[in-house]
Each structure stands twice: as C-alpha cells, then as structure tokens.
Amino acid sequence: TNLPSVVQIDGVDPTRTVSNHIHEIEKLYGIEAARKMIIKESRKVLEQQGLDVDLRHLLILSDLMCCDGSIQSIGRHGISGSKSSVFARAAFEVTVNQLLDAGLYGEEERLLGIPENVIVGQVCPIGSGRVSVMFDLDRNLEILQSKSK
C-alpha cells in the first residue's frame, strides 16, 4: 500500500486510516502497532475458517514474532529456522536437509526442548517431566541396616 502518501492527503484522518500491510505499519507506527495488526489479522483469518482459537495463543505468537523489536516470520527462514536445536529445525520443515547439514557440520543435539524430546520418545523437560529425584540407595541401605541392629 501507499499509506505514507495517503495520510498526507487533505481530508484524510491519519488516526482512522488503516492498512493491513504489517511491515508498512511497523515502519510508520512502530513495532507495537504492527504487533496489534498481527493479532487482528490472524484472528480474522482463523475466524473466517471457522476456527475458534483462544486469543492468548495469538498474543504469544505475536509476542514471539515481535520480541526482538522487528517482525520475524514463523517459518524455516524466520523463527523456526533460527533455532539452535537440530531436531527442532528438522521437525518444522526440510527434515532431510536439516539432518544432513547437521551431520556435515558436526552439530550436537542436547535434547533440551519439546520437539527434540518428542522425536526421540523421551519425557519433555517441562512440568512434571522437569523434576528429577536424586536418591542415594547405598547410603539409605546403610542407614536402614544400622537401625535394624
């Protein structure tokens, strides 16, 4: 669109003139205005498809897209492609290429995130899966044996 020129026209109220061009909004009004439009447009698209998505999910998505002060796409060239985890990148798109590149460049997978742990069939390190108990069996057996004497 040509929003900067449009708002200069006499009789056009720039406070009531709208564009859905996210990058143009960011350039003209800043990242917060762009974030608000991402939420509005995402919600509109989902509702048109008959999908009822909780607004909080869209808020998280828009926060993730705008968290560094500029708009990042959600895709292999944006947020998902910039992950340090080999499996997280491979889980999103172009799986074979991601795995081949990781092998070629000697990348290591530390299995710290959700996608990585799901891929290998491990409990994800979140919620109750984050708890680990350290129990010294030998020490406790010694204590029990000394009490029974």
User: Do 30 and 96 reside in the same domain of the chain?
Assistant: no
C-alpha 49, offset from chain centre? 23
Q: What pLDDT digit, counting tens, does each position of 48-69 carry?
A: 999 999 999 999 999 989 988 9
Q: What pLDDT digit, counting tens, does each position of 24-53 carry?
A: 999 988 999 999 999 999 999 999 999 999
* Cα–Cα distance for residue pair 18/25, rounded to 1 Å: 9
User: Do 38 and 80 reside in the same domain of the chain?
Assistant: no
pTM given for the model: 0.60
When pLDDT is averaged across residues 91-99 and rounded to a whole number, the result is 81
User: Do 81 and 140 reside in the same domain of the chain?
Assistant: yes
User: Do 18 and 80 reside in the same domain of the chain?
Assistant: no
Q: 144 versus 36: which is more confidently predicted?
A: 36
Label residue 18 by pLDDT band (50, 70, 90): confident
User: Do 11 and 66 reside in the same domain of the chain?
Assistant: yes
User: Do 65 and 78 reside in the same domain of the chain?
Assistant: no
Q: Look up the domain containing 94 and give its range.
A: 74-149
User: Which pLDDT score, from 0 to 100, does residue 46 have?
Assistant: 96
pLDDT above 70 covers a percentage of the chain that reads 94
Q: What CATH number has the domain bearing residue 123? A: 1.10.150.390
User: Do 55 and 104 reside in the same domain of the chain?
Assistant: no
User: Do 103 and 140 reside in the same domain of the chain?
Assistant: yes
- Specify whether the backbone of 140 is left (phi greater than 0), alpha (psi in -120 to 50) or beta: alpha
